[in-house]
C-alpha cells in the first residue's frame, strides 16, 4: 500500500453477525453501512454489493484510495482482500496482532486476541484515554480492559444477547419471540413483558457485575465505553457504562490505518 495522503478510506469490520463498512474523508466518517455477514460470499458478490452501496449514497468508488479490514471470519477475510484487489485496485491493510497499534498486548498469546478487540482497544484508548473498559455487544459480548499506559490487559467473553435469547426461544417451545425493549416494570405482568424484563435486566446485571469486578483491578476508575448493536438499550439501564459509541470499531480502523500507512 502506498504511503501518502488519503482521499477516501474504506474501512470494513467483519463480525460473525454483521459487517460494518464506513468511508472516511481524513478523520471524518462520511457514510457507514451495516450488512449481514454471509460466510459464503465471493469477492465478486462483495464487490458488487459494496459498489451498489456507494451508488445509492452518491459516492464514487473510484475515489477510494485506501482500504483497511478487520475480520473474525477467515473465509471472508480472504474474499474481501481479493475484492480490494479486483474492484478497487488496492492492497488492503489487514488488521493482525503484528501491525502497529500504539498499544501493547499483555496476554499469554497475543495472537489469540481477535481483530475486533484490538481495533476496539485502539479506538477506546485514543478517543477516551486510559484506563478504560470496553463492552462490545456483538454475537458474543466481549469485555476488554486497557491500562492507563495503553496496555491491553485482557478481558472476558460471554454469550451475546442475540444467541442467548435465540437459544431460549428454540428450547422453550411455548415462549414467543419478543422485541428487545424496556418493559413497563421489572415485574412482568404477562409472558412478553416477563421475557423483556428477564432479558434486559439479566444482561444489565451481567454487564455491571463483570465491569465492577474488573474495576477492582485498577487504582483509578476506568471509563466504561459500550459499542455494538444493543449498546444503547443495555446502557440506558446500566450503572457502570459511561459512554456509548456505536462507531467505535470503525474509528479504530481509521486510527490503525493512519498509524501504519500515513506519513506526516
Instruction: Summarize the confidence of residues 55-60 as an average pLDDT.
Output: 88
Residue 119 sits in the same domain as residue 231: yes
Look at residues 45, 76, 94 and tell me which one is the last residue of a structural domain.
94
Confidence of residue 263 (pLDDT cuts 50, 70, 90): low
Dihedral of CA 256/260/261/264: which sign? Answer: positive
DSSP label at 203? H
pLDDT tens digit sequence for 105-123: 999 998 888 888 999 999 9
Residue 47 sits in the same domain as residue 141: no
Please tell me whether the overall predicted TM-score, pTM, comes out greater than 0.85 for this model.
Answer: yes
pLDDT tens digit sequence for 66-80: 999 999 998 898 999
Q: How far is CA 123 from each of CA 39, 185, 246, 261, rounded to the nearest angstrom? A: 26, 36, 12, 17
pLDDT tens digit sequence for 185-212: 999 999 999 999 999 999 999 999 999 9
Considering its fold, how many domains does the chain have in total? 2
Query: Active site includes 208?
Result: no
Look at residues 65, 94, 123 and tell me which one is the last residue of a structural domain.
94
| Residues 70, 68: Cα–Cα separation, whole Å | 7
Catalytic residue among 13, 109, 116, 170: 116
**Is 256 among the domain residues?**
no
* The pLDDT value given to residue 110: 86
**Is 12 among the domain residues?**
yes
Expressed as residue numbers, the domain containing 79 is: 8-94
Buried b (16+ CB within 10 A) or exposed e, 221-245: ebbbbbbbbbbebbbebbebbebbb
Amino acid at each position: 500500500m502506498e504511503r501518502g495522503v488519503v482521499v477516501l478510506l474504506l474501512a470494513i469490520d467483519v463480525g460473525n453477525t454483521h459487517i460494518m463498512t464506513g468511508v472516511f474523508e481524513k478523520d471524518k466518517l462520511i457514510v457507514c453501512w451495516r450488512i449481514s455477514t454471509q460466510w459464503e460470499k465471493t469477492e465478486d458478490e462483495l464487490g458488487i454489493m459494496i459498489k451498489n452501496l456507494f451508488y445509492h449514497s452518491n459516492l464514487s468508488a473510484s475515489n477510494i484510495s485506501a482500504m483497511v479490514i478487520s475480520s473474525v471470519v477467515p473465509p471472508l477475510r480472504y474474499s474481501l482482500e481479493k475484492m480490494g484487489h479486483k474492484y478497487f485496485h488496492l492492497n488492503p491493510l489487514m488488521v493482525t496482532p503484528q501491525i502497529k497499534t500504539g498499544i501493547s498486548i499483555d496476554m499469554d498469546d497475543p495472537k489469540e486476541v481477535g481483530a475486533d478487540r484490538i481495533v476496539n482497544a485502539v479506538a477506546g484508548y485514543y478517543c477516551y484515554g486510559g484506563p478504560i473498559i470496553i463492552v462490545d455487544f456483538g454475537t458474543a459480548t466481549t469485555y476488554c480492559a486497557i491500562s492507563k499506559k495503553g496496555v491491553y490487559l485482557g478481558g472476558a467473553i460471554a454469550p451475546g444477547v442475540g444467541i442467548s435469547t435465540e437459544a431460549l426461544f428454540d428450547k422453550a417451545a411455548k415462549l414467543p419471540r419478543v422485541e428487545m425493549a424496556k418493559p413497563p416494570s421489572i415485574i412482568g405482568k404477562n409472558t412478553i413483558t416477563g421475557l423483556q424484563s428477564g432479558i434486559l435486566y439479566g444482561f444489565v446485571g451481567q454487564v455491571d457485575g463483570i465491569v465492577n469486578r474488573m474495576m477492582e483491578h485498577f487504582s483509578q476508575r476506568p471509563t466504561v465505553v459500550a459499542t455494538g448493536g444493543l449498546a444503547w438499550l443495555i446502557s440506558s439501564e446500566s450503572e457502570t457504562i459511561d459512554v456509548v459509541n456505536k462507531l467505535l470499531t470503525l474509528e479504530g480502523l481509521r486510527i490503525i490505518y493512519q498509524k501504519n500507512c500515513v506519513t506526516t
